[in-house]
Amino acid sequence: MPQFSFTEILLILVVVMILFGAGRLPEVGRSLGEGIRNFKKAFSGEEEKVKEVKGQEVKEGDKS
């Protein structure tokens, strides 16, 4: 993962404030957080489905 210096982070924050305005920043942050949460939830749900399918395949293999 790339390491950002303090100057780079500050520059990114200034650009974001210019694009969205200071009043909309909390809304943008909230939306971004929800999106990340939903992505993680969907991804972990898919992992569980894969584990279930693999478990069923192992059980079916034991019966033969």
Tell me the domain boundaries of the chain.
Answer: 28-64
- According to the model, what pLDDT value does residue 30 have? 92
Crossing angle (nearest 10°) for helices 25-63 and 6-20: 110
- Residues 61 and 37: their CA atoms lie apart, in Å, by 36
pLDDT digits (tens, 9 = 90+) for 25-57: 889 889 989 999 999 888 888 777 777 777 776
C-alpha torsion angle, residues 31, 33, 36, 39 (rounded to 10): -60
| Residue 7: pLDDT band with limits 50, 70, 90 | very high
pTM, 2 dp: 0.50
Whether 10 shows a pLDDT value over 90: the answer reads yes
